[in-house]
Amino acid sequence: MTTLAEVLDPGYVADLGAKDLDEVCSMRDEAQRVENGVSYLRRLAQGHLDIVNHERTRRREGGEAGDLSALIAQLPDILSEHTRGPGLGRPPQDLDPAVVPAELEAGLDAILADADLADLAILDDGALDVLAERLSAFETEVSGRRQALHACIDTLQDEIKRRYREGEATVDSLLS
């Protein structure tokens, strides 16, 4: 199984013209699987951040710390706020995030180990702000990795399209 670091290495897409079409297609599919795992982690981080930011806003508007039941009741509304974000909106090719980069997953786990969402009611405002900052920084880092993965996938897809456009590959070969 290909790792995030391998796919993001510039050598991954080097000399694509020397590779056969099946290999380029396989590389693209593997990069898409890695991107799916990274997207999954980004969505997890964004969901946690949305919940934390909602709690911060609720408190600034006079809500009492410790009201976990009110937060839980509002989860469907909170989590639906960012169902469509900016960008190309690439749907995942596979809904099973089988390739979740371990280093990114460990980063999110480390943030959440310090303050789980169930702890929001007992966190003071300063700790809540720190949690929001850490989640935001993590989400930004993961988004950057996703953008790099999209560039890699686009490079691979462009090579595949080039081969069909220039006659190096034919649609008939797909049918056999």
**pLDDT above 90 coverage of the chain, percent:** 55
Which residue type, as a one-letter code, is found at position 127? A
Q: How confident is the model at residue 175 (pLDDT cuts 50, 70, 90)?
A: low
Q: What is the pLDDT of residue 67?
A: 66
DSSP for 5-60, please give it.
HHHHSGGGGTTGGGS-HHHHHHHHHHHHHHHHHHHHHHHHHHHHHHHHHHHHHHHH
Q: How confident is the model at residue 176 (pLDDT cuts 50, 70, 90)?
A: low
Comparing 145 with 102, which gets the higher pLDDT? 145
In whole angstroms, how large is the CA radius of gyration of the chain?
Answer: 21
Asked if residue 70 has pLDDT above 80, the reply is no
Half-sphere exposure of 5 (CA within 13 A, CB side): 3
**pLDDT above 70 coverage of the chain, percent:** 85
Query: How far, in Å, CA of 127 to CA of 134, rounded?
Result: 11
Q: What is the pLDDT of residues 24-40, one digit of tens each?
A: 999 999 999 999 999 99
Q: What is the pLDDT of residue 88?
A: 53
Instruction: Give the pLDDT mean for 117-121.
Output: 79
Distances from the Cα of 150 to the Cα of 36, 92, 119, 129, 157, angstroms: 11, 12, 35, 31, 10
Contact in structure between 46 and 111 (CB atoms under 8 Å): no
The DSSP secondary-structure symbol of 96 reads S
Asked if residue 86 has pLDDT above 60, the reply is no
Comparing 93 with 165, which gets the higher pLDDT? 165
The pTM (predicted TM-score) of the whole model is 0.82
Burial class (CB in 10 A: 0-12, 13-18, 19+), 25: middle
Contact in structure between 32 and 155 (CB atoms under 8 Å): no
Q: What is the pLDDT of residues 11-22, one digit of tens each?
A: 999 999 999 999
Q: What is the pLDDT of residue 61?
A: 85
